Structure 1
Amino acid sequence: MQVEFFGVLKEVVGSNQVTLDMSPPVAIAEILDRLTSDYPALKSHLPRVACAVGDEVKSRQDLLQADEVLVLLPPVSGG
């Protein structure tokens, strides 16, 4: 499974993309659990991230297939 990171998430992971060895279909929640295990510093950020595939925001219960890329978007702040 491919996962892309933006903003602070990219800084925490140290890369803008990782590949996880998980058998599809897999729930987004399971991917987030795996990321927390592999990158413990992500734990505090993941409750607030938006999950997307392509241009569509997904729920954590949605299933991803092998050819889909999960994009994690941190909350946006500014003024």
Structure 2
Amino acid sequence: MIAELTLLLAIAALIAAAPVVGQLRALAPQIVKLQADLAAAPQVRELRYTIREVIVARDTAAVVAFPQRLAPPSGSPVHWRKAA
């Protein structure tokens, strides 16, 4: 009885694992390409963003937008404090 149960569980595990193995084999070329692209990418990337501030007046439910502020250049030491 135990041998039959063990055999049944082993067969069920193989049937469950077969689609996963098939998908990994199909995705292997794409994984290799992504790894090569990641290795060839530059180490430093530039990120640009815009911070928008809004205040909601609770009495009228109107949204009031602040004027845009220019962030200091990215090399300045107070860049993060002024941008936030």
Shorter-chain TM-score category? under 0.3
Tell which structure's C-alpha radius of gyration is larger.
Answer: 2
The structure where helix makes up a greater share of residues is 2
Question: TM (normalized to structure 2)?
Answer: 0.18
The answer to which structure, 1 or 2, has the higher relative contact order (CA under 8 A, 6+ apart) is: 1
